[in-house]
Chain A
Amino acid sequence: MKRSIPLPRRGRRSRWAAVALLAGLLACTGAVAAASTDRQGPDLAAYATPTPADVQAGRQLFVANCSTCHGMNAQGSGTAPSLYGVGAASAHFQLSTGRMPLRASGPQAPRGPVSYTEEQIRQMTAYVGSLGPGPQVPSAQQLDYSGLSDEQIAIGGQIFRTNCAMCHSAAGSGGALTQGKYAPNLRGVDAVSMYEAMVTGPQSMPVFSDSTLTPENKVAVIAYLKTMEDNPNPGLTLGQLGPVSEGAFLWGVGLSALIGIAVWLGAKAR
């Protein structure tokens, strides 16, 4: 089997440069607001129709980078699961959040810097998606929650509290699981990753298939979390960790400040 070390393509890079230049120009002309809305994540349309060439390129990338653990044919091994039937969404989630490739062994794979270009992720996703039927990368329309009413968002909140808050905390701050595993903080996570996590159930997380949690409900949950992110906060939020961080702040800052004042008050003036 031929192993090739993938190099990012030049053309792709220059396209990014052009985008950057354009963004810079836009900023110069005062249209900063337009530029700041580009945190939409990847161009999801490209994931909908993978070509055989994509699959082939993805397979090469897979063999070069992932086969040590997942096996040459993605059949899995003692240390890593088989990727048959996990679906394109699973591969995209793991790669685009930097959880894969795994950097160090531990209770679970942490979020990390992304190791591949958008193009490479798309190709590997296409390859894993081709291995067997499984959850697909959602489309941008699927994730669009802008049309949701206030009440629908609130329903999303209710679903979130029942199905997700026990691990991720009601504020989405994350929480501890057994033996050093944890549910990650959800603030700042993009909609695609959230959706993919729900349909694929990465690591310890259970799956929320479309038959038990409809796609509409999933989007409502995402909409709720995104609305929460925009919540106005009175200054310091202390990590939204609840009474533990509040208590620590009270002792460390509040009470300490007052004791400091008491020391000043009790000191003799010169």
Chain B
Amino acid sequence: MTTTRTPASAAGRYVDARLGVARLAKVALRKVFPDHWSFMLGEIALYSFVVLLITGTFLTFFFNPSMTEVVYNGSYVPLKGIPMSEAMNSTMNISFDVRGGLLMRQIHHWAALMFLAAIAVHMMRVFFTGAFRKPREFNWIIGVNLFILGILEGFAGYSLPDDLLSGNGLRIAEGITRSIPVIGSYASFLLFGGEFPGSDFIPRLYIVHVLLIPGVILALITAHLIMVVFHKHTQYPGPGRTNSNVVGYPLMPVYLAKAGGFFFLVFGVLALLGAFVSINPIWNYGPYHPSPVSAGSQPDWYMAFLDGALRLMPGWETHLFGWTISWNVFVPAAVFPGILFTALMFYPFIEAWISGDRREHHLADRPRNQPTRTGLGVAGITLYALLMIAGGNDVLATLFHLSINAMTQTLRVLVFVVPVFAFWLTRRLCLGLQRRDRETVLRGSESGTIIQTPSGEFVEIHTPTTPQRAFALASHDSPAPLELPAAQDPRGVRRPGSRALARLRARLSHFYFADALTPATPAEVAAVVHHHDEPTPLPVGDNPQPSTKA
């Protein structure tokens, strides 16, 4: 082999001599990524974040985060001569007096909404395919924290222009801060530097928005991606795709082109939105002032579930010994999201404890094969969606000629009922789909052709299932529920640990896995082929040895 002496290789050698990158590049450039559209959802979030950094940097050159009052004298006539904060004034100037300013502002805001929406759907994908399981639990926690930080970052950005809409949003944030038991008033005074609105909050929020939170997000994204590379991506089960390999396209060149191209596509779509779809037209809202308020005052979509929870909560307060506890505010705005996100964060550990499964998992679950988890996920999404509806109930009421009172009262019930129903329905659907998968493997799929047998019977021809499809449909595990271990081990020594906890674990394990079907086995297929006119009983998971029939 002759070594070529091109300028590129010379440059490569120059860099490698100083950084030794060739060793790394050799491995990294051949790294394989499985190809599936649902694996690109996180990339949408990542690229939206890059777009946010680019456009946000542009905006900082023109934005002035000051609450000093100035008189607007820009080119937008209906606000001429109106006193407003420097923050609002500079945002107005960005919108109407800086070339490319409005474009950047609108792209920035759309990208923020997209960032969080993409995180949400990415989380759904990870949840429903069980991609949070060992060894990826830590990365799931990072992901949940990125979502929380994204929400805070978005709210900070939404508040910076100091317009009437976001100013009332801050007013609400201040009211929520006051509701913290015991220290509420002090917490509010620390945040706002005294009484609301004061003159400190926008500058403080600004540094939080442009440095503190983005810095943490950037660090967490880096850790998130390093872990993705280290663990290698999960893949969907299929022929040739096992728990011990990863099948896909190499980074160089295919994934570089696809992922790189996708960045431009995400940016392009955001640019289209920014160019042609109005978002947060602050000139319509006017500057913040404590007296006015606008109908239809809502936060951006990712905060809507909290606003909805605030709207639905009944007006309960406790007044005791000269102290107030505002359940009506603190519960929906702090306790509820606290519980929600904590549960989300620890879900991988909870599920692992219930299943007792300590293996590494690199194959994505098909959601139907985990009916209880899928049901829980759908229930959670349903609850979130109902709260979002509650958060926009006034807009929906005017659009669909409903009464906000009736909507609120109905939703107060529905947030408890519908998620339970959604759970039950999803679980049944999953079990039904599992049954169909079993049938497909055992008897093939219906071909639509009906023949008459010599005995005069009409039978539909079933197309036999290919080995590839059978493998894809029936290679998953179906965990059996844990049984409550005897209180004493065989030698009569009491087992360590809480008995009540063990009982809870066994009960939860039954709740999770008792109904699951075991996948079809070759033995069962053989049995069906031999006695194809006898119905095969469907073995279920709590039948410990389903394959003994064979």
Note whether A and B contact each other (Cβ less than 8 A): yes
CB within 8 Å of B: which A124-183 residues: 150-151, 153-155, 157-158, 161-162, 165-171, 173-180, 182-183
| Cβ contact within 8 Å between A266 and B298 | no
| Cβ contact within 8 Å between A259 and B37 | yes
Given the complex, which residues of A lie within 8 Å of B245, measured CB to CB? none
Query: Residue B237 at the A interface, CB < 8 A?
Result: no
Query: Residue B278 at the A interface, CB < 8 A?
Result: yes
Give the number of residues in A that approach B within 8 Å (Cβ atoms). 61
| Cβ contact within 8 Å between B82 and A157 | yes
Q: Which of B207-215, B355-363, B399-407, B504-512 lines the interface with chain A?
A: B399-407
| Cβ contact within 8 Å between A180 and B403 | yes
Given the complex, which residues of A lie within 8 Å of B78, measured CB to CB? 153-154, 157, 224, 227-228, 231
| Cβ contact within 8 Å between A179 and B41 | no
Given the complex, which residues of B lie within 8 Å of A258, measured CB to CB? 44, 114, 118, 265-266, 269
Given the complex, which residues of A lie within 8 Å of B300, measured CB to CB? 243, 246-247
| Residue from the list B41, B121, B284 in contact with A240, Cβ < 8 A | B284
Chain B minimum-CB-distance residue to A268: B35
Given the complex, which residues of B lie within 8 Å of A244, measured CB to CB? 296, 298, 301, 304, 391-392, 395-396
Given the complex, which residues of A lie within 8 Å of B402, measured CB to CB? 180
CB within 8 Å of A: which B381-429 residues: 391-398, 401-406
Query: Residue A236 at the B interface, CB < 8 A?
Result: yes
Give Cα A211 to B298, complex, Å: 34
Closest Cβ of chain B: how far from A250's Cβ, in Å? Answer: 4
| Cβ contact within 8 Å between B278 and A175 | no
Query: Residue B347 at the A interface, CB < 8 A?
Result: no
Give the number of residues in B that approach A within 8 Å (Cβ atoms). 71
Query: Residue A241 at the B interface, CB < 8 A?
Result: yes
| Cβ contact within 8 Å between B405 and A178 | yes
Closest Cβ of chain B: how far from A101's Cβ, in Å? Answer: 20
| Cβ contact within 8 Å between A154 and B275 | no
Closest Cβ of chain B: how far from A96's Cβ, in Å? Answer: 23
| Cβ contact within 8 Å between B398 and A250 | no
Interface on chain B toward A: helix, strand, loop, or mixed SS?
A: helix
Closest Cβ of chain B: how far from A239's Cβ, in Å? Answer: 9
Tell which of A180, A246, A258 has the most Cβ of chain B within 10 Å: A258
Given the complex, which residues of A lie within 8 Å of B313, measured CB to CB? none
Closest Cβ of chain B: how far from A110's Cβ, in Å? Answer: 9
Query: Residue A265 at the B interface, CB < 8 A?
Result: yes
| Cβ contact within 8 Å between B404 and A247 | no
Query: Residue A107 at the B interface, CB < 8 A?
Result: yes
Give Cα A174 to B294, complex, Å: 10
| Cβ contact within 8 Å between B395 and A241 | yes
| Cβ contact within 8 Å between A251 and B281 | no
Given the complex, which residues of A lie within 8 Å of B277, measured CB to CB? 234-236, 238, 249
| Cβ contact within 8 Å between B304 and A234 | no
CB within 8 Å of B: which A79-109 residues: 107
Chain B minimum-CB-distance residue to A237: B278
Query: Residue B10 at the A interface, CB < 8 A?
Result: no
Query: Residue A242 at the B interface, CB < 8 A?
Result: yes
| Residue from the list A154, A162, A228, A255 in contact with B117, Cβ < 8 A | A255
| Residue from the list A155, A227, A233 in contact with B77, Cβ < 8 A | A227
Query: Residue B492 at the A interface, CB < 8 A?
Result: no
Query: Residue B157 at the A interface, CB < 8 A?
Result: no
| Cβ contact within 8 Å between A171 and B405 | no
Query: Residue A257 at the B interface, CB < 8 A?
Result: yes
Give Cα A170 to B296, complex, Å: 9
CB within 8 Å of B: which A177-233 residues: 177-180, 182-183, 224, 227-228, 231, 233
Query: Residue B340 at the A interface, CB < 8 A?
Result: no
Query: Residue B285 at the A interface, CB < 8 A?
Result: yes
Closest Cβ of chain B: how far from A223's Cβ, in Å? Answer: 9
B interface residues with partner A (beta carbon < 8 Å): 35-41, 43-44, 77-82, 102, 106, 110, 113-114, 117-118, 121, 164-165, 258, 261-262, 265-266, 269-270, 273, 275-281, 283-286, 289, 291-301, 304, 391-398, 401-406
3 tightest CB-CB pairs across the interface, nearest first?
A: A175-B295, A247-B301, A235-B276
Question: What would be 20 A-B contacts, judged by CB atoms less than 8 Å apart?
Answer: A153-B77, A153-B80, A155-B81, A157-B286, A158-B82, A158-B286, A175-B294, A175-B394, A177-B404, A180-B401, A234-B106, A236-B278, A237-B278, A240-B278, A242-B298, A243-B165, A243-B298, A244-B296, A246-B113, A250-B301
